[in-house]
């Protein structure tokens, strides 16, 4: 598990749609409920306001489809 760092600003969340298999692991591991899986196409939807930049979703995604960009303040 990647530890949360202090004073981190979440910048962006990039999803590589062609690599996502719609497994919803990212949504399951997000403790902030910042990811919901779209019921239409099964792609994850990210809520920047809830995201704390822990990058657990990125680490647990089996296909490396997620990249979370954070900036140290
Ligand atoms: S964990 Fe990865 S492959 Fe699974 S739904 Fe999330 S982004 Fe897609
Ligand atoms: S970086 Fe952490 S808080 Fe943000 S969406 Fe991923 S698991 Fe959730």
Residue 2 belongs to some domain of the structure: no
For residue 48, the surrounding DSSP H or E stretch is none
Question: Mean per-residue pLDDT for 45-72?
Answer: 96
pLDDT > 70 fraction of the chain, expressed in percent and rounded: 93
Q: What is the model's pLDDT at position 5?
A: 57
Pocket of ligand 2 contains residue 15 by CB under 6 Å: no
Q: Which of 25, 38, 39, 56 to mutate to test the pocket of ligand 1 (most atoms within 8 A of CB)?
A: 25
In this structure, is residue 50 part of a structural domain?
Answer: yes
How much is the pLDDT for 15?
97
pLDDT at 22: 94
* 15 is a domain residue: yes
Total structural domains in the chain? Answer: 1
pLDDT of residue 2: 53
Q: pTM to 2 decimals?
A: 0.90
Which pLDDT score, from 0 to 100, does residue 29 have? 98
Identify whether 46 is part of a domain: yes
Tell me the C-alpha distance between 36 and 45, whole Å.
5
Asked if residue 1 belongs to a domain, the reply is no
Looking at the CA of residue 53, tell me the nearest atom of ligand 2: 1
Judge whether 33 lies within some domain.
Answer: yes
How far, in Å, CA of 47 to CA of 68, rounded?
Answer: 12
In a domain, 59, yes or no: yes
Q: Which domain holds residue 41?
A: 8-72
Residue 56 is assigned to a structural domain of this protein: yes
């Amino acid at each position: 598990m990647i530890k949360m760092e202090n004073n981190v600003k979440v910048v962006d969340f990039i999803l590589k749609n062609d690599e996502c298999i719609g497994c919803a692991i990212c949504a399951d591991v997000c403790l902030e409920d910042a990811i919901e899986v779209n019921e239409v196409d099964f792609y994850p939807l990210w809520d920047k306001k809830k995201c704390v930049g822990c990058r657990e979703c990125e680490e647990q995604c089996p296909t490396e489809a997620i990249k979370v960009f954070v900036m140290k303040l």
